Amino acid sequence: MPLIGIILGSDSDLPKIRNCFETLDEFGVDYEIVVSSAHRSPERTLEWATGAEKRGVRVIIAAAGGAAHLPGVVAAHTSLPVIGIPIETAISGGLDSILSIIQMPAGVPVAAMPAGKAGGANAALFALSVLALADDSLKEKIARFREKNAAKIAERSEKLAALGYRKYIETMK
């Protein structure tokens, strides 16, 4: 059974958090995905959230946009860690979603990720870090992933030094 459960407020969120699935795929970690809304299908959302732990889910990722109460509603029905991804909207890049997710009143926490591309990737990495507490091989994979990222930064810096900023920018087009 997948250890990560992902719930999306709408299928329109799917392409916006593509990075989340790609990151989990890169780590070879299985996950379940459902579309269920806190307001359009409240009973379905309740059923999914209350059953998650029994199904074997250990960490939940919940993505929603606008009045993004889905992560909070899910967190209200489970004691599993819930990671919220604010979906980008027309309002200041998703400020409405960010504020909805980040401002949980004391008592029912939701971990808030950034909106935009980074949100999906970081939600996946956060979920993997939770699972890595009980999985040394996953911990090792996360360490290698970070080493790879550090090497990429160093490579870019060397390329910048070699080309100069004008040519470097040309290569970015």
At 90, give phi and psi (nearest 5°).
-75, -15
Nearer to ligand RP5, 65 or 72 (CB): 65
Q: How far is the CB of 66 from ligand RP5 (least distance, A)?
A: 5
Q: Nearest-CB residue to ligand RP5?
A: 9
Interacting residues toward ligand RP5 by CB under 6 A: 9-10, 12-13, 37, 64-66, 87
Nearer to ligand RP5, 74 or 138 (CB): 74
In DSSP notation, 63-92 reads EEESS--HHHHHHHT--S-EEEEEEP-SST
**In terms of Cα–Cα distance, which of 55, 102, 52, 120 is closest to 81?**
52
Q: Which residues lie across from 60 on neighbouring strands?
A: 5, 82
Nearer to ligand RP5, 29 or 113 (CB): 113
Q: How far is the CB of 54 from ligand RP5 (least distance, A)?
A: 25
Q: How far is the CB of 51 from ligand RP5 (least distance, A)?
A: 21
Q: How far is the CB of 132 from ligand RP5 (least distance, A)?
A: 28
The CA distances from residue 25 to 80, 82, 155, in Å, are: 22, 20, 25
Q: How far is the CB of 148 from ligand RP5 (least distance, A)?
A: 31
Return the number of other C-beta atoms located less than 10 Å from residue 33's C-beta. 15
**In terms of Cα–Cα distance, which of 5, 173, 19 is closest to 88?**
19
Nearer to ligand RP5, 3 or 121 (CB): 121
Helix axes 117-132, 18-27, angle to 10 degrees: 30
Nearer to ligand RP5, 72 or 138 (CB): 72
